[in-house]
Structure formats: structure tokens, C-alpha cells
């Protein structure tokens, strides 16, 4: 799944904009600003397609920033932050994201009640994105070849709004990738990274014959951090294509639901 484009963020708004046939009405459960931080377009830019399909309006309640903007505090009006996948494997982007000031600003955002999503799936052999509350970054390894396209929901996930979304109920079948397009994940949340013991694991896939976590969330201060190594932006994710995906649709609903909790 190597991404062969190096188009900068500035081009993403103009050249990768997803066409929406008719105006979408924003679900009240998704009220609040989401800010996406990325230095390049992640794989097939499906988070953009998903957010537009959910009624988010670029420049109104949905903003795209370069990672360098995180050297400043996340604006106070922000509900959710997404750090998109470094799918092109940029060492410079990882260095920026790892910066101590950036990590402090992300921590402060979460601590005041924000929800942070860090997509750790990348194409970096060494290093990668980090998240406040965790230590390290996932190793650059891949699921077993025979099962590399499969994703599995954990028993704990079935009682969450991540699985039971307002329009989609996730199952092991409708989150798998097209089996002709491997891999469902780049790395996992066990090898190379330490996440809090209190983390709730929502999804796994198979590495070396063992199911290992690839999507989890944990409480930090007054907010939440969601970390994953799933290639969510890739066209092979169900339903295959470049439009909205099942997993991203429910992930955004889940993040906004967490933001409404009055305790962590």
C-alpha cells in the first residue's frame, strides 16, 4: 500500500475535493468543529469524503491544517482533532508531530475535554507519530499475509457507539478490506508502542498468528485519545472506493459521542 503522491496539503483542498451531489444536513450529534492536521493527502483521502458526506462544511466546522500549526495551541472552539495518516512516510512530518511543544499542545487540548484521533498507520520504517498518554510508536510491520485484509471487532466494542452507529452497525464482514488489496493495518498497538493499561481495545487483526490491537481509546485528563494503525484512508476499506467508508463514518460519530461525556 505505498502511496505514490507527494501533493501538499494546499493542493488537497482543490484537487482532492469530494463531490457531493446535493447539500447534506448536519446530524446534530456531529455539532462542533473538527480540525484535521496533515502535511500530505493520506492515501485516498477518505476522511475528507466521509466528513463531507456527514454534512461537515470545509472552512465552517471542518478545517485542514499543516502539522506545523500545532506549534500553537489547538483553538478553543475545537471539539475533535484528527492527525491523519503519514501514508507517504515523511520523516519531516513525523519529526514535526513528535515535537515536545506539539505534544504538549495536543495534551492540553485533550485535557480540557477534547477528543484526539491519531492515525499511526504509515510507511515509515523507523519512527512515526506519537500520542499524548502513550509511549513510542508502532513498529512498521504487517498482518499475516493470509489474513492481512481482515479486521476483527472485540467483545467490548459491541456495546459502544463505534459499532452501533446511527446509520451503520459494524460487523466483522462490513469492515474487512477488499481481499485483493492488503493490508488492513500498518503496525499494531502492541509492538513498538505502549498504550495505557486502562485502554479499551475496539479492533484487532492477526500478526504472527496472534490477534493484536489496531484500534483503541483511553481517557486522558478530561478528554479522550483514540489511536489506531488501520489504513482507514485506503480505497480497499469497505466499501471499496474513494468515498465514505463504514469505519470512518462510525469513528467520527464515536469521537463526537465521547466529546459529550461529562467525565472521563
Residue 31, in any domain of the structure: yes
pTM attached to this predicted model: 0.90
Contact criterion met (CB below 8 Å) for 185 and 205: yes
Residue 21: per-residue pLDDT: 41
Cell of 132: 499524548
pLDDT at residue 173 in the model: 86
The verdict on residue 3 lying in a domain is no
Considering its fold, how many domains does the chain have in total? Answer: 1
- CB-count burial class (<10 Å; 0-12, 13-18, 19+) for 55: middle
Residue 182 maps to a domain: yes
Q: Residue 214 has which C-alpha cell?
A: 489496531
Is there a domain that residue 118 lies in?
yes
For the chain of 264 residues, list the mean pLDDT of each consecutive stretch of 10. Answer: 35 38 72 97 96 96 98 98 98 98 98 97 96 98 92 92 91 88 93 97 96 98 97 93 95 95 69
pLDDT at 115: 98
SS3 content of the chain, % helix, strand, coil (to 5): 25, 20, 55
Task: Report the CATH number at residue 234.
Answer: 3.40.50.880
Residue 1 domain-assigned (yes or no)? no
Closest by CA to 214, choosing from 183, 242, 244, is 183
Q: What is the pLDDT of residue 82?
A: 98
- Give me the domain span that covers residue 187: 9-259
| In a domain? residue 4 | no
Is residue 2 one of the residues assigned to a domain? no
CA distance 173 to 81: 28
Listed residue (230, 238, 241) closest to 117, CA to CA: 230
Contacts of 171 (CB under 8 A, 6+ apart): 153
CB 247 within 8 A of CB 172: no
Whether 121 contacts 214, CB under 8 Å: no
Smallest CA-to-CA distance from 222 within 251, 259, 252, 194 is with: 259
- Given a contact cutoff of 8 angstroms between Cβ atoms, the answer to whether 211 and 152 are in contact is yes
In a domain, 200, yes or no: yes
Amino acid at each position: 500500500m505505498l502511496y505514490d503522491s507527494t501533493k501538499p496539503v494546499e493542493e488537497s483542498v482543490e484537487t482532492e475535493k469530494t463531490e457531493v451531489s446535493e447539500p447534506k444536513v448536519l446530524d446534530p450529534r456531529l455539532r462542533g468543529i473538527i480540525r484535521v492536521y496533515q502535511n500530505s493527502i493520506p492515501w485516498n483521502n477518505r476522511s475528507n469524503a466521509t466528513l463531507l458526506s456527514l454534512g461537515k462544511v470545509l472552512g465552517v466546522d471542518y478545517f485542514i491544517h499543516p502539522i506545523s500549526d500545532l506549534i500553537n495551541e489547538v483553538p478553543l472552539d475545537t471539539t475533535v482533532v484528527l492527525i491523519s495518516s503519514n501514508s507517504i512516510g515523511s520523516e519531516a512530518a513525523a519529526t514535526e508531530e513528535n515535537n515536545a511543544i506539539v505534544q504538549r499542545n495536543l495534551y492540553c487540548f485533550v485535557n480540557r475535554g477534547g477528543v484526539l484521533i491519531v492515525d499511526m498507520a504509515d510507511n515509515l520504517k523507523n519512527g512515526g507519530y506519537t500520542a499524548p498518554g502513550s509511549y513510542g510508536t508502532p513498529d512498521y510491520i504487517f498482518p499475516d499475509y493470509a489474513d492481512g485484509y481482515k479486521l476483527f471487532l472485540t467483545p467490548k466494542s459491541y456495546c459502544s457507539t463505534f459499532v452501533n452507529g446511527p446509520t451503520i452497525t459494524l460487523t466483522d464482514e462490513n469492515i474487512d478490506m477488499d481481499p485483493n488489496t492488503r493490508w488492513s493495518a500498518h503496525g499494531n498497538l502492541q509492538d513498538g508502542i505502549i498504550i495505557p493499561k486502562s485502554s479499551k481495545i475496539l479492533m484487532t487483526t492477526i500478526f504472527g498468528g496472534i490477534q493484536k490491537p489496531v484500534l483503541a481509546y483511553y481517557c486522558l485528563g478530561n478528554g479522550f485519545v483514540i489511536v489506531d494503525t488501520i489504513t482507514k484512508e485506503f480505497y480497499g476499506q469497505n466499501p471499496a472506493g474513494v468515498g465514505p467508508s463504514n469505519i470512518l463514518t462510525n469513528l467520527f460519530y464515536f469521537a463526537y459521542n465521547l466529546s459529550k461525556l461529562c467525565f472521563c
